[in-house]
Every structure is written in structure tokens, then in C-alpha cells.
């Protein structure tokens, strides 16, 4: 999805696009996970059939179970179960979302590979999913809010301070 420079100021020109996933896009993993999990950049609309994740093997056969779940605590998080015992090989994940923020549809895809000789997931892959979904704010938001509060306090002080009359005393 490409945002153009001609968008109206203050208007969001984004959709519920791919943010991250487990397995990660392009990952090679040693065994099949139970589910494919995707996080998107906006909250998703809660309408039956509006959001989709499909997983297919190289031959095009479905590898997911179709049990799509929208996380009610974090509506940017959508998952689908995988058929048990998936064999090694490449799998294509395609998705479609309906944004609860702007009402627009987005689509995309990525691949992952199951290879028994692949190394176990490193810390980056294990940490791709938040430890607790929904309710936990990233730490940096507190810093931004503190800076906004301090700026507002300084602005209020400047606006509410009594005006000083020019002094006649030259020295």
C-alpha cells in the first residue's frame, strides 16, 4: 500500500496492513506451529467474513483449519489454526482485512517454510508477539505523554502569567 503526498493534512492514509506475524514473513522454522498469528497496523472490524487468513501448501491445497479468531483484547491480532502434522515445505499465507478505523480493505501475503533441519527460533522470533496482548502500552508512550504534559504546562504558564510593564529604570 502506497501513501501519496497529496493526502489531506491530518487525514490518515493507511489501512489495516501487515505489521508482524508468527511465523515471521520469510521465516524457516523446524516444525509447524499450531496457528498462524498476524498483527496488523489498525484494529479490525468485527464482521463475519470481513477478515481472512488462508494458508496453502505448494500445490495450492489448504493447510489451515479455517478457525479464524479475532483477539477481542487486541483487535489488531488475527489467528488461524493449522492442520495437524503439516509436512516440511513452503506455505503461502494470504490475508485480507477490513479496518475498523477507516473502513478500507487491505490484502497481502507472505511465505514461511517448514524445514526439520532449521535452527530453533531465536530471541527475535520468540519476541515477535507481545507477551500480553491488549491493555499493555509500549513504554515509550509514557515518555511522549510526559513531554506533552510538560509542554502544555509551560504554555499555560506563559499564557496565564501577568504581563510585565516596561520598566522606566534604565539600569
pLDDT per position as a tens digit, 57-83: 999 999 999 999 999 999 999 999 999
The pLDDT, as a whole number, for residue 124 is 46
* Model confidence pTM above 0.75: no
**Dihedral of the alpha carbons of 22, 27, 28, 32, in degrees to the nearest 10:** 20
Question: CA 104, CA 41: separation in Å to the nearest integer?
Answer: 13
Amino acid at each position: 500500500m502506497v501513501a501519496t503526498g497529496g493526502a489531506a493534512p491530518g487525514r490518515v492514509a493507511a489501512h489495516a496492513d501487515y505489521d508482524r506475524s508468527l511465523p515471521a514473513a520469510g521465516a524457516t522454522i523446524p516444525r509447524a506451529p499450531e496457528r498462524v498469528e498476524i498483527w496488523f497496523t489498525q484494529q479490525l472490524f468485527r464482521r463475519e467474513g470481513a477478515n481472512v487468513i488462508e494458508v496453502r501448501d505448494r500445490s495450492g491445497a489448504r493447510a489451515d483449519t479455517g478457525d479464524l479468531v479475532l483477539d477481542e483484547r487486541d483487535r489488531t491480532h488475527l489467528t488461524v489454526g493449522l492442520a495437524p502434522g503439516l509436512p516440511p515445505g513452503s506455505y503461502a499465507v494470504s490475508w485480507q482485512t477490513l479496518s475498523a478505523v477507516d473502513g478500507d480493505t487491505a490484502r497481502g501475503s507472505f511465505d514461511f517454510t517448514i524445514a526439520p533441519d532449521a535452527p530453533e527460533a531465536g530471541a527475535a522470533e520468540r519476541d515477535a508477539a507481545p507477551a500480553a496482548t491488549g491493555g499493555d502500552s509500549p513504554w515509550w508512550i509514557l515518555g511522549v505523554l510526559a513531554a506533552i504534559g510538560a509542554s502544555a504546562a509551560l504554555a499555560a504558564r506563559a499564557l496565564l502569567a501577568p504581563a510585565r510593564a516596561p520598566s522606566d529604570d534604565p539600569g
